[in-house]
Amino acid sequence: MKKQLLFSAFFISLNLIIFGQNIIHSNKIFYTGNNASVYCLKGTAVTLNNSGKLVSGTLSRDQIFYNGKNGSVYCTKGTNVSFYETGKVKSAILSRGQIFYNGKNGSVYCTKGTKVSFYETGKVKTAVLSRDQIFYNGKNGSVYCTKGTNVSFYETGKVNSAVLSRGQIFYNGRNGSVYCTKGTNVSFYETGNVKTAVLSRNQIFYAAGNKSRQFKKGDIVNFYENGFVR
């Protein structure tokens, strides 16, 4: 009976090491879904999946991980990195400025020391820009984005949200043009229609039932995907 209890305790302990989140008491090497080695820092938490592969951990050294069509991701010692089940990088803190390809929107210039996240396809999901950039956004033309601010993308590469580097006018279906303020956040539906914006002038927009509503310069306006104001 005593031996059985000891074996059960060992088995439970082993499972705690293999599955879920654990604190490691010495620097250890774990492996991702594509068997890349990840050097993890003692005294920090690691998360493993049911197969014992690393989902997230804190690096004990700078490391480089291959991420499909986007090449390599340079990751920073002492910061958290997370992975998809396939082993592709999900998020990381960059140890150097990098340029990642993002489909139709070309290159995304990312800032050293900031977090970048990816879709499992390898396309950029969120990043902090290291320069002002212009991204194409379908029928709404281009979105002028600000250096040092966060930008997010849909998996198609279209802009989800950004901070504008200049005042812009975006077309919004039934409600015509939306005048947006420089230096403020604007978000879009994947169709390209405006989701939220800060107005740079007084405007009138229509809600469902063709009821008109007046908004003032500086107001935050929220729209439905069909263009009607909320």
Going from N- to C-terminal start, the domains of the chain cover: 56-222
Q: What is the rounded CA–CA span in Å between residue 115 and residue 95?
A: 10
Give the CA distances from residue 95 to residues 43, 67, 113, in Å, rounded to whole numbers and listed in that order.
Answer: 22, 15, 6
Amino acid in the structure at residue 82? S
CB neighbourhood size of 50 (10 A): 9
- pLDDT given for residue 19 in this prediction: 64
Residue recorded with tokens 């039932």:
209
Which residues of the chain fall short of a pLDDT of 70?
1-19
pTM for this structure?
0.88
Listed in order, strand segments (DSSP E) in 71-216 are 72-75, 80-83, 89-93, 98-101, 107-110, 115-118, 124-128, 133-136, 142-145, 150-153, 159-163, 168-171, 177-180, 185-188, 194-198, 203-207, 211-215
End-to-end CA distance of the chain: 67
Supply 97's token pair: 């400025």
CA-based nearest residue to 226, from 182, 188, 193 = 193
Give the CA distances from residue 140 to residues 61, 64, 180, 200, 220, in Å, rounded to whole numbers and listed in that order.
Answer: 43, 37, 13, 17, 19
Q: Give burial (CB, 10 Å; 0-12/13-18/19+) of 9.
A: exposed
- pLDDT given for residue 172 in this prediction: 87
Task: Name the pairing type of β-strands 28-31 and 159-163.
Answer: unpaired
